[in-house]
Amino acid sequence: MSEIIVILNGDNFSSLNTFYDEVERKFTQNLDWKIGRNLDACNDVMKGGFGVYEYEEPITIIWENSSKSKNDLDYKETVKYIKAKLKTCHPSNIDGVKMDLELAKQNKGDTLFEIIVKIIKSHQHINLKLV
């Protein structure tokens, strides 16, 4: 059995929405539906079982041009993400999301890039290489 390598290319996206498109192109195969456009759905896709690799099968993700992605998914994009999240979150989460928004406006807390990297690294079956 050969090692499965999935390449994410930072040149193929510059926002969270286009990142989801890249994830869909690289991690899913022969689906007759689109993946959810949220970080929970992205986390689910990382687990596997969507046609490219089996559920929790060991893989390597090579994130090419990750420095561009780090710049693209910075605090400005994070603020946009949190503002959108504030509109749809459960009422019991509003205060926490507002706090996250204030931190992001001050360039504090995790950026979207850092959040995504943490999501990927939380999966023990994934070896992530940022290049």
Q: pLDDT tens-digit profile of 94-118?
A: 999 999 999 999 999 999 999 999 9
For the domain bounded by 1-67+112-131, which CATH number is listed?
Answer: 3.30.370.10
CB of 64 closer than 8 Å to CB of 129:
no
| Predicted confidence (pLDDT) at residue 1 exceeds the cutoff of 70 | no
The mean per-residue pLDDT over the stretch 109-131 comes to 98
Q: What is the predicted pLDDT for the residue at 128?
A: 98
CB of 49 closer than 8 Å to CB of 59:
no
Q: What is the predicted pLDDT for the residue at 56?
A: 94
Q: pLDDT tens-digit profile of 43-92?
A: 999 999 998 999 999 999 999 999 999 999 999 999 999 999 999 999 99
| Predicted confidence (pLDDT) at residue 2 exceeds the cutoff of 80 | no
Beta carbons within 10 angstroms of residue 121's beta carbon:
13
DSSP assignment of 27-78: HB-S-SSPPPSSHHHHHHHHH--SBSS-TT--EEEEEETHHHHHHHTSHHHH
Domain segments of the chain as ranges: 1-67+112-131, 75-110
Given the structure tokens 């689910």, which residue do they identify?
44
CB of 112 closer than 8 Å to CB of 78:
yes
Closest CA to 6 of 84, 58, 55, 74: 58
